[in-house]
Structures are given as structure tokens and as C-alpha cells.
Amino acid sequence: MDSAALLDLLGNENRRRILRLLSRKPCYVTEISEYLGVSPKAVIGHLRKLEEAGLIESHVDDQRRKYFHIARNVRLEVNLSPYGFDSKSAYPRNNTVDITTYRHLSLDIALEQTDDLDSLLSTLDDLERLENELSLAQRWVQGRLCETLDNISEAAGVGRESRIHADVLASIRHEPKGIGDLSRDVGVPREVIADLLEVLADEGLVQRTERGWELRESGSVSAQD
């Protein structure tokens, strides 16, 4: 998608909030309307624009309820400096890309204090190649992050449709946290976090201790029998 069109689309706060919500889990119109505090009619208008842009898709469940979800990974990069303004959007690279072949990723560039024009232009070439390779690497990492979170959800036995469970598990993987901290980390209301923790506790994945909610002592998430 053209970066300028994407910037215009994301300029609306409610559309950004919709995407943030859908990045946690698929939702139907009424859910989104209640979350945003706007009318279902307005939500439908935002969803139509996001769907036309290819950012979201929809599916119908067994009860004929229409759910919307994120369609794909998209990365938007904006560079602003005294020397120019540039933006670009791109899909993450295929996960099979070997980023170890990007020689500038491990290059230690020393910016020498020099007035020599040839040396400065050579440094500029190196930095521009480094910028491009970092962009490719970031897109590769984004794809791998999403794949890993999907795998965490599946290993936890909740499936990819419940990505928010993976976010909760990831948030407490290093230290115990209370419901308030988890609510801020994951970006959903406290009551939603409380319900999720009860589900994960029933699955034997987390436990409540004096320090807060933490992963069970096994220290790992394994597939359910």
C-alpha cells in the first residue's frame, strides 16, 4: 500500500484504536463500538476503509456473526530530518531470508572527524546501505515475532485467534506482575486481564503468588494433552 495513503488512513485516532484492538483478537462490530464508545454505524465506516486498504479482513462464525481481524503484517517507516522527509510501507520479508548475508549489520562504522570530501561521501554510501539493510532486518524480525507469538498461542492451547493470551504470557515471562501492570503492558482493561489469567491458570500455565502472577514453575509453555 502507498505510504502516503497509509499515513492518511492512520491519521484517524479511532481507526488506530480499532487496529490496536484487532491486533489483540478478532472482534465483531458491537464489541468494537463498545470499546471505542462510538456508534456501530461509525465503526462500520472505519472498518470499510480499513478493509478496502487491505489492512483487515472478516470471517463469519457458526452463529453467522461477522468478525474482523488483521489481514497481514505491514511496516510503515517515516524518516524526518533537516535533509528531507521520506516514508515507505512494506510487508515483512519472508522468514527464510538469511539476514546474516547483510554485511553492514555487523559493520562497525567509525565516523572520523575529517574534512576530506571523498571520505565523507564514502561514509555516506556505507550509512545508506546500512539504513537499507536495517530496514530489511526489522521487517524480518517483525515477521518472526508474529510467527513466534502465534506458536506461543498454539502451545498454550488457545489457538491463533486468541493472540492476547500470548501477550499476557510474554509480559510475565521474566518477572511476576499484578493485574494493573499487565493491563498497562497488554493495553486492555483490568477485568479482561483478570478473566484471561483465570483461563490460563485453569490450563496450568500461570499461577498467582505473593509476588503477583507468574509462569508456573516449569518455566516453559508446552502443548496441552
**How far, rounded to the nearest angstrom, does the alpha carbon of residue 109 sit from its chain's CA centroid?**
31
- Three-state secondary structure call for residue 32: helix
Q: Specify the DSSP element, H or E, that contains 49.
A: helix 40-52
pLDDT band at 221 (very low <50, low <70, confident <90, very high): very low
Give me the phi and psi of 152, to 5 degrees please. Answer: -65, -45
Q: Specify the DSSP element, H or E, that contains 79.
A: strand 75-81
pLDDT of residue 177: 94
In tens, the pLDDT along 1-35 reads 688 888 999 999 999 999 988 887 889 999 899 88
Running DSSP on this structure, what letter comes out for residue 94? P
In tens, the pLDDT along 91-142 reads 665 555 566 666 656 555 565 667 778 887 887 888 888 777 777 777 788 7
In tens, the pLDDT along 46-56 reads 999 999 999 99
pLDDT of residue 203: 84
Give me the phi and psi of 79, to 5 degrees please. Answer: -120, 120
Running DSSP on this structure, what letter comes out for residue 73? -
Average pLDDT of every residue of the chain: 81
pLDDT of residue 4: 87
d(CA 5, CA 54): 12
What are the cell numbers at 120?
565523507
pLDDT of residue 219: 42
What number of helices (H) and strands (E) belong to the chain? 8, 6
Shortest CA distance to 169 belongs to which of 161, 140, 158?
A: 158
pLDDT above 60 (res 223)? no
In tens, the pLDDT along 149-188 reads 778 777 766 665 567 888 888 899 889 999 999 988 887 7
pLDDT above 50 (res 220)? no
Q: What is the dihedral of CA 137, 163, 187, 89, to 10 degrees?
A: 30
